[in-house]
């Protein structure tokens, strides 16, 4: 479960890779020298790019720079979902982005992609449609469409930088924490009382050293990470018409008031409002 280097191989006659991966039952904490644009539609899921960890709802659109560690966006999704991924080398058009004035905005965006860039609003809607349409185009038309997508993204104001510093693989080579081991333990124990001492022991660190390193790598405490994971699981239960109180206790919270408060802090709405907003009574 160490971090893995993905080998990206474009199809014959293509300068980039366009595909629809399905890895929901596989923990894939990885990196690659290529840029990656990911669009995923799902009720909810986990977004882990570099040091940034959060949840997403309904859909997500993210541009990831070269060698930035990230988790597959469909990890742990238990409902139906759809995903489109584009991967391209840094020099997939040679020096065109750097030297062509018309591509100045795209070049500037690529220079910031090492932070991980998340897109929302109308930008996400438009780009999602174009990515879906790309599947049926010729290779030449796919390149043209991809340039349109990049221009839309590069000139968008619906953008959020996920990290505030370089999180490329050089920061993770001394990976004392096997993120796969952490996720696996939490997934198996989030509804009980996850014990940080057990996790620390599993990655051969003292508890104090584990807590310091975990926060350095994720900018979250272990407890915050567990609570966010619990809220992500609670969303799925709420959308299956489980009551708020049942969801609260099923994912491991012992206080309904604390669950409501934390849920609102992480999602922007309390559990009842969340259910109603998506048509669940």
pLDDT value of position 92: 87
Measure the CA–CA gap between 157 and 182, rounded to whole angstroms: 35
Reported as a single tens digit per residue, the pLDDT across 121-163 is: 999 999 999 999 998 999 999 999 999 999 999 999 999 999 9
Tell me the residue ranges of DSSP E strands in 65-181: 70-71, 82-88, 117-119, 159-161
For each of the domains in the chain, give its residue range(s) and CATH number, in order of start. 4-161 (2.60.120.10), 176-277 (1.10.10.60)
Provide the whole-model pTM: 0.85
pLDDT value of position 131: 96
Q: What does DSSP assign to residue 22? A: -
Reported as a single tens digit per residue, the pLDDT across 31-71 is: 999 999 999 999 889 999 998 999 888 899 999 999 999 99
Show the CA angle centred on residue 267, arms to residues 27 and 263, nearest 5°.
Answer: 90
């Amino acid at each position: 479960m160490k971090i893995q280097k993905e080998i990206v191989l474009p199809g014959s006659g293509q300068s980039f890779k366009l595909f629809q991966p399905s890895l929901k039952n596989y923990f894939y904490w990885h990196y690659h020298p290529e840029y990656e644009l990911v669009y995923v539609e799902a009720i909810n899921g986990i977004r882990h790019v570099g040091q940034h960890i959060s949840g997403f709802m309904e859909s997500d659109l993210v541009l990831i720079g070269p060698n930035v560690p990230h988790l597959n966006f469909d990890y742990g999704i238990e409902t139906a979902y759809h995903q489109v991924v584009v991967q391209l080398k840094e020099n997939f058009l040679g020096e065109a982005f750097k030297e062509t004035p018309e591509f100045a905005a795209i070049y500037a965006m690529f220079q910031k992609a090492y932070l991980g860039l998340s897109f929302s609003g109308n930008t996400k809607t438009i780009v999602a449609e174009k990515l879906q349409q790309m599947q049926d185009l010729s290779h030449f038309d796919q390149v043209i469409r991809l340039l349109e997508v990049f221009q839309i993204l590069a000139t968008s104001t619906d953008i959020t930088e996920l990290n505030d510093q370089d999180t490329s693989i050089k920061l993770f080579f001394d990976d004392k924490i096997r993120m796969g081991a952490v996720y696996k333990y939490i997934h198996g124990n989030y509804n009980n009382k996850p014990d940080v001492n057990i996790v620390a022991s599993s990655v051969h660190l003292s508890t104090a050293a584990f807590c310091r390193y975990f926060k350095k790598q994720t900018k979250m405490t272990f407890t915050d990470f567990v609570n966010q994971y619990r809220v992500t699981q609670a969303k799925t239960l709420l959308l299956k018409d489980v009551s708020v109180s049942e969801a609260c206790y099923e994912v491991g919270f012992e206080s309904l008031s604390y669950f409501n408060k934390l849920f609102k802090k992480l999602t922007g709405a309390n559990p009842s409002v969340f259910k109603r907003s998506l048509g669940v009574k």
